[in-house]
Amino acid sequence: MKPAPFEYHAPESAADVVALLAEHADECKVLAGGQSLVPMLALRLTRFEHIVDLNRVDELAGITRTNGSLRVGAMTRQRAVERDPGVATVVPLLAAAVPCIGHTQIRNRGTIGGSLAHADPASELPAVALALGAELEIASATATRRVPAGEFFEGTWTTCLADEELLVAVHFPVWEGRCGFAFEEVARRSGDFALAGVATALEVDDDGLVQRSALGLLGMGGTPLRASAAEAAMVGRAPDASDLDEIAMLAVRDLDPPDDVHASSTYRKRVGAHLVRRTLTRALEEAGRS
Amino acid sequence: MTATEHTAGRFVGQSIKRREDPRLLTGAGSYVDDVVLPGMLHASFVRSDLARARITRIDVEAARALPGVHAVLIAADLNPGAGSRQPSMFQGDAVPSPCAPVPLLADADVRFVGDPVAIVIAQSRYLAEDGCELVEVEYDELPPIIDAELAITETEHLVHPELGSNVAMSVPTPADPTLDEIFASAAHVVRETLVQHRHTNVPMETRGVVAGYEPASGELEVSLSTQNPHEARQVCSRLTGVPEHRVRVVGADVGGGFGQKFFLGRDEQIVVAAAVKIGRVLKWIEDRRENLIASNHARADRITVEMAVDAEGHLLAARLDHLEDCGAYPVGGTGGVGPFVAMLFPGPYRLGRLGFVSTAVWTNTCGRGAYRGPWMLETVAREEMLDLVARAIGMDPLELRRRNVIRADELPFTTAMGMELDHITPAETLEQAVEIIGYDAFRAEQRVAFEQRGTLLGIGIGLYVEPTSMGSGSLGVETATVRVQPSGTVTVMLGTGSHGQGVETTMAQVVAEHLGVAIDDVVVVQGDTASSPFGGGTGGSRTAVVAGGATREASIEVRHKAVEIAAHLLEAAPEDLEVEDGRVFVRGTPTRGVEMSEIARVAYNSPAELPEGVAPSLEATVSYQAPPITWSNACHACTVEVDPDTGLVKVLRYVVSEDCGVMINPMIVEGQIAGGVAQGIGGVLYEHLVYDEYGTPLTTTFLDYLVPTATEVPVIEYGHVETRSPTPGGHKGMGEGGAIGSPPAVFNAVADALALRGAKVTAQPLTPTRILDALDAT
Amino acid sequence: MTEHAICVVVNGEQRRLRVEARRTLADVIREDCALTGTHLGCEHGVCGACTVIVDGEAVRSCLMFAVQADGADIVTVEGLGGPDGTLSSVQDAFREEHGLQCGFCTPGFVVTVTQLLRENPDPTDDEIREGISGNLCRCTGYQGIVRAVRRASEAPGPDRPDRPGPPGPEGTR
């Protein structure tokens, strides 16, 4: 199972990367951690004339705290995020989700940006980015732009990134106030792609009423999804157990999750609702305690 | 490890650490892909992506023209003149009828996705795959036969038109009014249709071969990932026409097989034929996708079981209707295992009478092959059925088994199918397993947990007898040469094909024990037809009995001669001599003795000192023929927790109580069981080979074919019972057993948990979706 | 296709190689460095048989291109024990606990476990199983492997995981 031939480029600056992307456009693919791309190349499910290796572009890696958000460079290794105690403090939902990605060996090479740009609807980071309202920092040879997560994911393995664009960093907003976060997924075996998963973030006011809530769903559709109706139904309330049952059903009611060899569509909806209920319970509890 | 009295000699019976390990742990093993020879070329296959189609055009010119490509061969280049592709057991009159008409490369049509259509030979695998992409093939698609049930009645679309039917075999037992009467008058009749799904061996090392043909010498040398070098040698010779004495097959280190590598696969045959045709050294290493779609599949069975039971739960009779999916090109020895399933169905129970109809069909899918206990459906069906019967009649499944299991005082016992069972201990292993797992305490815990918290705990049993070391044809024979070198060290040559069973260790233990030398002075040579006597390879749970038997007998013969020589040198009577640690000495007077090295020196270098009538050299070659069947048995017991919200299953505890007679190496016995158990857990809960309705495989990588990891397999607890077999050394085979008893134990445990909610399952795999669907249906 | 000159240190030895970009690190280690202990079980990053240590991290060498390893420090299974064949404490533990049968997955496990214990010298049972869940074995049912990790984690010595183990016990030859 060997890849088709390609020309290999190893630029050392983001400027050089985008110049190559501008030159080669759709004949070109960036190589980040390789944990998703290389299997596809090996299976010859995809091929490119040019591969642009991002692993020597040091400026693309790194975690910095900026005003109200955590900026994570696209080439930051998942393992680095996992090990960073600062991340657990300022963006707990990200810290909770990263250990669920595959296995140690995968996270040693896999990157935050790579996972987001690969946009597998059953993967963890897109749902987290969506739930938190993260912003994706994108550059090309001619321009830079910021795209909210809600506009970034367009379809299965498809984002709004144009051929000549590079995902440079992701900005995760830091939620202040009385907040609670929970991430849960159901997979066949430890480390597998999720059959269904939920990334939950909530903020409550001093009376315990929900101020804002975010439910990012993975494995429940062609892209990561926000359960907007369910989120709206929570605002201004202090939901009890039976409210949560209702909200969980609302979260999945209009969804049409995939049907495949691993799980049926019905299964995913059912388990999705179950995880919504579970994560909301935990997040409310955490928010209430804070 | 708990044990009833267990034989422990100085070496046999000890958990001696393996001599294979140092090289394997340090990366110094020699697997087929490690073989690198000068001028070696690499092969890759063009395979059909349609399940059934006529080939209308094939153009290899672009591929041939690619720089680095040495040759591209299609059926017209390779197939003419090819000898038999069938294994030795199917030669001459033994060819089963009908036999799938397998060509080398697909010729006029393709009959499953993965069917090899062309072979590209290039300077590297990378280039060979580039070449494959340039081969143009056009097909006329035909409707494929994918559903085994539909295959039976489908008369227009035939997998093998030349055979005239999609039914490969149909074996019904004759009408039996007595059986009908038993059913008509029984207190209870339970009927269920059980499905075991398609899954497969998945050795961690895929198949592979390096075949080199030197036209000048007419020699064919093959490095092969194989369980059976001598069998492969014979097939290579018949296939290519290179006489057997000019063919050498070497299986050095082999990365697992579980039956997949017992016969020489079709793809490997193509590579060997290609190597002879081009007169070069040619390597082909199967990739994982090929392994999952085109090596062999297994276990795709549907069986309807009817059981007649009296008011006290005694098993009066059973009827079976078994449908076996053989795929398009089954790999030697299977496809047609149905009657054997029926014959073994009674298992270790007092089942009165049995009738069956066994049907095997061809389908346009990957061919069925041998997978660890190829007949094991009998245990799956019987053990699952017993639990279903128990629940139907309101009896605990353990109690039902206790009422029907064959007891020691009933041996030898002739089953409803006329098989004689002896030297087995199913009742004892049943009791030991349930004691270790704490069956009664678990039932109490199960009840409380369900009533108080709605928790779904379940317990399941799988009790079976295993027909090991079957002595039919060449499989019943093994030949061992035990040779003492002039220095007194020992080499053992065996025709086995070890691939994880530790034959280099266990057979050294047998020699050390019976020849009386230090184990460090023994080396086992196997896997190479040039240096080993003809043998039946490793598989079919035959090594301990057959290879062990031959090795033991040969060792004893050498010992006898060594003692004879020593007696002469010491001027003592042979009956007064002991042999230990490579020294022969007078019993009671150890200082009066002679080293094996001295005996060997005399035997080889100073034959004048030999006693009268004793020929020079110090070695023996003994062929041992095993009896038709050597039975072993075991009981698996398993507890699980089923999550009612997600359908995920956690295996809590797993217990195996086994009786394989005298264990040569208990550590290795437990290891073999453990691997089989993991395959059973994988088979029931995770692994599934799926085709869509067009015959396109959907599970073609490890991303979709889920093999259990360390987080899915709990600690396995063992109990040992030892009942000597009547074969030399008292050993029994057991290598396949772990994979026989585990699927029903796991299945039954999950079914037991679901039964708390009145939910029922009869089909595998027990995926989370299937489990939630079953709970929803209540 | 273009060949790239790379310089890698493999098991302490510097190597200068010329590699086509699409050749995986696994293939180059096996073929160009003639270190065949690293095995290919799937070539799509699931089975872990190809695990090596690159710049101190355990990675799947089938998912890296050799050209990406220019300047890297690589350790393969061949680099773990002593040059005279003595086993490291992890290798020795695998032998003691029957953590291997056919041996094909073994180098991947040994490398993974060596790195696991460097990072987490005293893992819980769950951490052990989680830590090796990225490696597949088909022969052992993981029984001896889990025991081996436990044993290696309890082996004495300041530099446990890659300290050469005791001289081979009886029957090492």
> What's the Cα-to-Cα distance from B717 to each of B488, B597, B664, B740, rounded to whole Å?
41, 44, 19, 17
pLDDT given for residue B99 in this prediction: 86
Q: Cβ–Cβ of C21/A6 closer than 8 Å? A: yes
C15 shares its domain with C35 = yes
pLDDT of B550 over the 70 cut? yes
Higher per-residue confidence, B679 vs C158? B679
Amino acid in position A270? R
Q: Which residues contact C74 (CB under 8 A, 6 or more apart)?
A: C8, C9, C10, C11, C25, C29, C52, C53, C54
Do C14 and C70 lie in one domain? The reply is yes
Residue at a domain's end among C77, C108, C125: C77
Residue of B nearest to C102 (CA): B500
Do the bridges between strand A28-31 and strand A50-53 make them parallel or antiparallel, or are there none, so unpaired? parallel
* Residue B685 structure tokens: 């809960």
Identify whether C28 is part of a domain: yes
Chain A, residues 51-70, CB within 8 A of chain C, namely: 51, 53, 55
Work out whether strand A210-218 and strand A196-204 pair parallel, antiparallel, or are unpaired: antiparallel
* Chain A residues touching residue B708 (CB < 8 angstroms): 189
- Which two structure tokens, joined as six digits, stand for B8? 């422990």
The domain boundary, picked from C29, C55, C77, lies at C77
Q: Give one DSSP letter per residue of C113-168, joined into a string.
A: HHHHHHH-SS--HHHHHHHTTTS--SSSTTHHHHHHHHHHHH--STTGGGSB-SSP
**Binary contact (A109, C4; C-beta < 8 A):** no
Report chain A residues whose CB lies below 8 A from the CB of B690.
261
Name residues whose C-beta falls within 8 Å of residue A273's C-beta, 6 or more positions apart in sequence: A248, A249, A251, A252
For every residue of A104-125, DSSP letters joined together read HHHHHH-BHHHHHHHT-TTSHH
Quote the mean pLDDT of chain B: 96
Question: Which of A55, A105, A120 best probes binding to C when mutated, by most C CB atoms within 10 angstroms?
Answer: A105
Same structural domain for residues C68 and C103?
A: no
- Do the Cβ atoms of A44 and B129 come within 8 Å? yes
Has residue C82 been placed in a domain? no
Mark whether C17 and C71 lie in a shared domain: yes
Name every chain A residue with its beta carbon within 8 A of the beta carbon of B129: 1-2, 4, 44
Scanning the structure block, which residue is given the tokens 């607890």? B717
Q: What's this model's pTM, rounded to 2 decimal places?
A: 0.97
CATH of the domain at C32: 3.10.20.30
The 10s digit of each residue's pLDDT in A200-213 is 999 999 999 999 99
Q: Does B667 touch chain C (CB under 8 A)?
A: yes
Listed in order, strand segments (DSSP E) in C21-112 are 51-54, 57-60, 73-75
Three-state SS at B67: coil
Chain C CB contacts of A7 under 8 Å are 1-2, 21
Q: Residue B257's CB: how many other CB atoms inside 10 A? A: 30
The residues of A whose Cβ lies within 8 A of any Cβ of B are 1-5, 39, 43-44, 186, 188-193, 195, 260-264, 266-267, 270-271, 274
In a domain, C173, yes or no: no
pLDDT of amino acid B332 = 76
Give residue C124's domain range. 89-154
Q: Decide if C138 is inside a domain.
A: yes
pLDDT in tens, C90-144: 999 999 999 999 999 999 999 999 999 999 999 999 999 999 999 999 999 999 9
Considering the domain architecture, whether residues C94 and C40 belong to the same structural domain is answered as no
- Give A214's contacts (C-beta < 8 A, 6+ positions apart): A130, A131, A132, A133, A199, A200, A201, A202, A226, A231
Q: Are residues C70 and C93 in the same domain?
A: no
Looking at CA atoms only, how far is residue C23 from chain A in angstroms? Answer: 8
Identify the chains in contact with B, defined as 3+ C-beta pairs within 8 A: A, C
Mind listing the pLDDT tens digit for each residue in B693-722?
A: 999 999 999 999 999 999 999 999 999 999
Closest residue in C to B126 (Cα) is C23
Q: Per the domain annotation, does C15 fall within a domain?
A: yes
Work out the burial of residue B367: count CB atoms within 10 Å of its CB; fewer than 13 is exposed, 13-18 middle, 19 or more buried.
buried
Encode chain A (290 residues) as per-residue pLDDT tens digits: 999 999 999 999 999 999 999 999 999 999 999 999 999 999 999 999 999 999 999 999 999 998 899 999 999 999 999 999 999 999 999 999 999 999 999 999 999 999 999 999 999 999 999 999 999 999 999 999 999 999 999 999 999 999 999 999 999 999 999 999 999 999 999 899 999 999 999 999 999 999 999 999 999 999 999 999 999 999 999 999 999 999 999 999 999 999 999 999 999 999 999 999 999 999 999 999 88
The verdict on a CB contact (< 8 Å) between B25 and C100 is yes
Residue in A with minimal Cα distance to B772: A267
By C-alpha distance, which of A222, A235, A230 is closest to A277? A230
CA distance A93 to chain B (A): 22
Same domain, C64 and C123: no
Contact assignment for B769 to A191 by CB distance below 8 Å:
no
Whole-angstrom distance, CA of residue B758 vs CA of residue B122: 60
Contact A104 C44 (CB under 8 A): no
Q: Do A186 and B129 touch (CB under 8 A)?
A: no
Interface test with A, best of C51, C60, C119 (most A CBs within 10 A): C60
Segment B94-133, tens digit of pLDDT: 777 778 999 999 999 999 999 999 999 999 999 999 999 9
Instruction: Look at residues C56, C77, C98 and tell me which one is the last residue of a structural domain.
Output: C77
Q: What is the pLDDT of residue B338?
A: 86
Alpha-carbon distance of B203 to B181, in angstroms, equals 47
Domains annotated for chain A, with CATH where assigned, are: 7-53 (3.30.43.10), 58-173 (3.30.465.10), 178-289 (3.30.390.50)
Same domain for C68 and C96: no
Average pLDDT of span B744-749: 98
C120 falls within a domain:
yes
The answer on pLDDT for B337 being more than 90 is no
Q: Are residues C73 and C20 in the same domain?
A: yes
Amino acid at B179: L
As a whole number, mean pLDDT of residues B69-91 equals 94
Going by pLDDT thresholds of 50, 70 and 90, the confidence category of residue C165 is very low
B158 pLDDT exceeds 70? yes
Classify residue C48: in a domain, yes or no: yes
Question: In a mutagenesis test of the C interface, which of A43, A45, A104 is the best target, namely the one with the most C β-carbons within 10 Å?
Answer: A104
Q: Does B693 touch chain A (CB under 8 A)?
A: no
Q: Name the closest residue on chain C to residue B504, using Cα atoms.
A: C171
DSSP class of B246 = G
If you measure CA to CA, which chain A residue comes closest to C108? A105
Strand order, beta sheet including B109-110: B109-110, B53-59, B136-141
Per DSSP, chain C holds a count of helices (H) and strands (E) of 5, 5
On whether both C57 and C122 belong to a single domain, the answer is no
Among chain B residues, the shortest Cα distance to A274 is held by B645
What span, in angstroms and rounded, lies between the C-alpha atoms of B272 and B284?
Answer: 10
Assign B90 a pLDDT band (cuts: 50, 70, 90). Answer: confident
Same domain, C73 and C8: yes
**A260 to chain B: which residues are within 8 Å by CB?**
698
C8 lies in the same domain as C71: yes
In this structure, is residue C114 part of a structural domain?
A: yes
| Number of domain units in chain C | 2
